[in-house]
Amino acid sequence: MTELRSASVFPRSNDIPERFRFTTPREQRAWLCNGELRDWHGALQDVLSPVCIATDAGPVQQRIGAHPLLGAAEAEETLDAATRAWANGRGEWPTMTVEGRIRCVERFTAKMQERRDEIVKLLMWEIGKSLADAEKEFDRTVVYIRDTIDALKELDRISSRLVIEEGVIGQIRRAPLGVALCMGPFNYPLNETFTTLIPALIMGNTIIFKPPKLGVLLHEPLLEAFRDSFPKGVVNTVYGDGPTVITPIMKSGRVDVLAFIGSSRVGDILKSQHPKPHRLRCVLGLEAKNAAIVLPDADLDLAVRECTSGALSYNGQRCTAIKMILVHESIAPTFLSKFCESVDALRDGMPWEPGVQITPLPEENKTSWMRGLIDDAIAKGAKVVNARGNETEATWMHPAVVYPVGADARLGHEEQFGPVVPVASFGDVDEALRFVADSSYGQQVAIFGSDPDAIAALVDPLVNQVCRVNVNSQCQRGPDTFPFTGRKDSAEGTLSVTDALRVFTIRSLVAAKATDANKAIIRSILNERSSKFLSTDFIL
Ligand code: G3H
């Protein structure tokens, strides 16, 4: 690989500000099962930070700890614990009042906030997220939990009434589904995991939670909070190799909901392992190849700004990142020159450095893999067009802009999930529409232009190809109250604060013919508050 920098981007240990040093590796042995923090005495997985320490022998990834590699027997125990806590819907948690479950989640959130600094530091060291982005991820997650609580209160208020239709009295509510297996991605290990775990939990499901392969240790500070905030067996954790710990759980047929954010390849394997597929509800967030379409009359400074941050925030490691830029041929040279200048001005460095934008990559051999994508595009006629596009060292690389990238190149259709931005030009806007239609993915697009008619002509076909069309704005998930989903191989199910409450539940109702005898029974149940479901109590 080309290594063009003369000085290392990585610090010597003494150069790291004291507050951010990782002096004591975190040796995690605990796993949470059936309300106990159990001690693991078996194999451990070493955790290497993407952050390297510069030494005389070159950069060395810092070891920051280790976590358990559980076996199939422990996976089985977590499944048993979650199944027992569900107890065919008769467990303490699924039958608890909504107010009771909200109180538990509030208790958990308060304990979680006490661990903010520790978790933020682990986000920086474990996945190389900048301090600002790590803080944002933590705070956004807390806001998401609060918004979820508010949305549930509202949902419960709406459901706290009886309806009478065609002589039938009914009360309709959303009821939990059972055991939920929640698996989040490494790029938002806290936030995206919690955007499924929290709604699944608060709606009364019991949880088996497997952190992503990268981003495990940052969850350890929360294990006690989980243990102390919820009845035993309601939240359980598994760690280790997917085929060892997840395959037996899926093959058992006892998982009712799979919430997985990761690759469609793994998502398909997990789904296919369940012996009763129609009983399994899936909520999947998968890959994307979001395109930016830059029209001839676009405000180029704005388009460059949005494309730079849209393609390269957190080094391009976002499912919503712009992963292909399609620019009209009449403005391609100007756009490219401004875009390259903007990309080359991005600040590289370590996660704690003020204003840093490009940081080391956590996935093993990621820089070589990215180089492979670039080399493939070069072999098919493209070039790295930004001056700093070949700068790389160990786990770090400055972003490369590659042009012109055709559909035959891997960069033209594969999700790169890293700091390489492919660009292609088009003469007729139909070519841009064809790119989106031919893609295996269908999450979002971003259109840049100023003519309302031209934008409208693109909006209408594109909303039927993707699930969010951004106008003069980068692609993104937020605000978290907006629906987040995708077509084709990009997603299954919709997440948002309110949608998530729906996907982890099913509508269930109590109905009775409106006879005098039935009315008397219902009145008595309501007056005596003898049912938690059949109830008109209103959360204030
Ligand atoms: O990795 C995918 C995330 O859902 C993206 O979220 O657009 O807020 O960065 P974001």
- 496 CB less than 6 Å from ligand 1? no
Mutate-to-test residue for ligand 1 from 130, 417, 477, highest number of ligand atoms within 8 A of CB? 477
- 318 CB less than 6 Å from ligand 1? yes
Centre of ligand 1 to C-alpha 113, Å, is: 22
- 256, 385: one domain: no
CATH number of domain containing 249: 3.40.605.10
- 188 CB less than 6 Å from ligand 1? yes
- 365, 299: one domain: yes
- Whether 118 is in a domain gets the answer yes
- Whether 489 is in a domain gets the answer no
Residue 106, H or E segment: helix 98-114
Mean pLDDT within 100-124: 98
With beta carbons less than 8 A apart as the criterion, state whether 481 and 497 touch: yes
- Whether 47 is in a domain gets the answer no
- 79, 108: one domain: yes
**Domains contained in the chain, number:** 2
- Whether 501 is in a domain gets the answer no
SS3 content of the chain, % helix, strand, coil (to 5): 40, 25, 35
- Of 429, 449, 480, which one is at a domain's C-terminal end? 480
Mutate-to-test residue for ligand 1 from 127, 186, 188, highest number of ligand atoms within 8 A of CB? 188
Residue 298, H or E segment: none
Report d(CA 152, CA 462) in Å as an integer. 33
- Of 455, 480, 505, which one is at a domain's C-terminal end? 480
- 367, 473: one domain: yes
In this prediction, residue 1 carries a pLDDT of 43
pLDDT of 37-70, one tens digit each? 999 999 999 999 999 999 999 999 999 999 999 9
Long-range contacts: 279-282, Cβ < 8 Å, 24+? 279/253, 280/255, 280/256, 281/177, 281/256, 281/257, 281/493, 281/503, 281/504, 282/257, 282/258, 282/492, 282/493
CATH number of domain containing 357: 3.40.309.10
Work out the widest C-alpha separation in the chain, in whole angstroms: 88
**In the predicted structure, residue 7 carries a pLDDT above the cut 90:** no
**Ligand 1 atom 6: the closest Cα is on which residue?**
477
- 476 CB less than 6 Å from ligand 1? yes
Closest ligand 1 atom to residue 321 Cα is 7
Q: Mean pLDDT of all residues in the chain?
A: 97
pLDDT of 210-244, one tens digit each? 999 999 999 999 999 999 999 999 999 999 999 99
- Of 457, 480, 503, which one is at a domain's C-terminal end? 480
- 323 CB less than 6 Å from ligand 1? no
- Whether 62 is in a domain gets the answer no
pTM value surpassing 0.85? yes
**Ligand 1 atom 8: the closest Cα is on which residue?**
477
- 354, 232: one domain: no
- 133, 151: one domain: yes
- Whether 488 is in a domain gets the answer no
- Whether 232 is in a domain gets the answer yes
In this prediction, residue 305 carries a pLDDT of 98
Closest ligand 1 atom to residue 140 Cα is 8
Q: Nearest Cα to 329, choosing from 383, 379, 404, 420?
A: 404
- 309, 446: one domain: yes
CB neighbourhood size of 71 (10 A): 16
Centre of ligand 1 to C-alpha 313, Å, is: 10
- 76, 133: one domain: yes
Percent share of the chain, pLDDT over 90: 98
**By residue range, what is the domain housing residue 201?**
30-41+71-285
pLDDT of 142-154, one tens digit each? 999 999 999 999 9
- 317, 414: one domain: yes
**Ligand 1 atom 2: the closest Cα is on which residue?**
319
- 401, 377: one domain: yes
CB neighbourhood size of 509 (10 A): 14
- Whether 518 is in a domain gets the answer no
- 320 CB less than 6 Å from ligand 1? yes
- 366, 253: one domain: no
Percent share of the chain, pLDDT over 70: 99
- 175, 313: one domain: no
pLDDT tier at 6, thresholds 50, 70, 90: low
Closest ligand 1 atom to residue 484 Cα is 4
